[in-house]
Amino acid sequence: MVSGSLSVLARAVAMAERAVPGARRQALTLTETAADRIRQLLDMRQKPFLRLGVKARGCNGLSYTLNYADEKGKFDELVEDKGVRVLIDPKALMHVVGTKMDFVEDRLK
């Protein structure tokens, strides 16, 4: 079912690209603080990419995962924003389209 949903999403993206040539929106955007934190993490591990994925668990059936990656997978979506590169696993793509990633550090309450 996921591959069917991804093909529907891919067709919708292709139609949008044809309607407005050269105007494809990124699947994910980063705030400046998120980009700074990702940059720090990638520099510490000397990795070129952070990969965003999903796993089946949690209240809504999904939980997000972040892992370091050395290379882009064949079907990964590459997002380059504010000088950092994030790969989106194809299974996660339909769950994060239009998302803005932020980073907030605070004390637990």
Encode pLDDT of 45-75 as tens digits. 999 999 999 998 867 688 889 999 999 999 9
Give me the percent of the chain exceeding a pLDDT of 90.
56
SS3 33: helix
End-to-end CA distance of the chain: 39
Cβ neighbour number for residue 103 with a 10 Å cutoff: 15
pTM of the model: 0.73
* Longest CA–CA separation in the chain, Å: 48
**Overall average pLDDT of the 29-41 stretch:** 95
pLDDT number for residue 56: 86
User: Cα(15)–Cα(24) distance, rounded to whole angstroms?
Assistant: 10
User: Cα(1)–Cα(3) distance, rounded to whole angstroms?
Assistant: 6
**Four-residue CA torsion sign, 36, 107, 87, 93:** negative
In this structure, what are the phi and psi dihedrals at residue 58, rounded to the nearest 5 degrees?
85, 180
